[in-house]
Amino acid sequence: MEQTDYSELKLGKSITAASSPDVAILDVIQNPKKTINYLVRFTCPEFTSLCPVTGQPDFAHIVVDYIPNEQIVESKSLKLYLESYRNYSTFHEDCTISIGEKLITAIDPIWLRIGGYWYPRGGIPIDVFFQTGEPPTGVWVPDQGVKSYKGRG
């Protein structure tokens, strides 16, 4: 395997999140297993953004699944990107889809799906789902494991 220069990555450095997702940069690295189709999952159970109307915080459990192509996203840069939404105003739908679009632009995955499981505010939970098509056959794609919101039960 060829030697890669990781010195430009955020990994291992003290870095704060970008001021908004619009200016956040995802670090990408070469896929170490290009000849194998496999699934990568990122789970962010404490995602936060702001309501663009009220300014109140919105909370979500975000799950991103993707099958890498030539590159993979470096996890610290993804964490910082997701954190950049903390003081950013956007609707649930735009937020969830924009995360997927940013990943597609950065790494051009073979397949991607994102589930945005938003906690209720005003009594209605909103779940937003996006995927780029059908995953290739032979790749194990487990359920995202987030139960639908049921309230008190």
Specify the DSSP element, H or E, that contains 100.
helix 92-107
Known catalytic residue at 58: yes
Question: Of the listed 51, 94, 95, 108, which one is catalytic?
Answer: 51
Question: Of the listed 5, 22, 44, 58, which one is catalytic?
Answer: 58
**Coil vs helix vs strand at 57:** strand
C-alpha–C-alpha distance, residues 135 and 133, integer Å: 6
> What are the backbone angles phi and psi of residue 76, rounded to the nearest 5°?
-65, -40
The band of 9, judged by pLDDT with boundaries at 50, 70 and 90, is low
Confirm or reject CATH 3.30.1130.10 for domain 28-131, answering yes or no. yes
pLDDT at site 1: 42
Give pLDDT tens digits for 91-121: 999 999 999 999 999 999 999 999 999 999 8
Residue 34 scores a pLDDT above 90: yes
pLDDT at site 17: 82
Known catalytic residue at 22: no
Q: What is the mean pLDDT of residues 148-152?
A: 75
Q: Are 27 and 77 contacting, i.e. CB atoms less than 8 angstroms apart?
A: yes
64 forms bridges with which residues in the sheet? 42, 114
C-alpha–C-alpha distance, residues 131 and 126, integer Å: 17
**Residue (of 96, 91, 90, 151) closest to 123 by Cα position:** 151
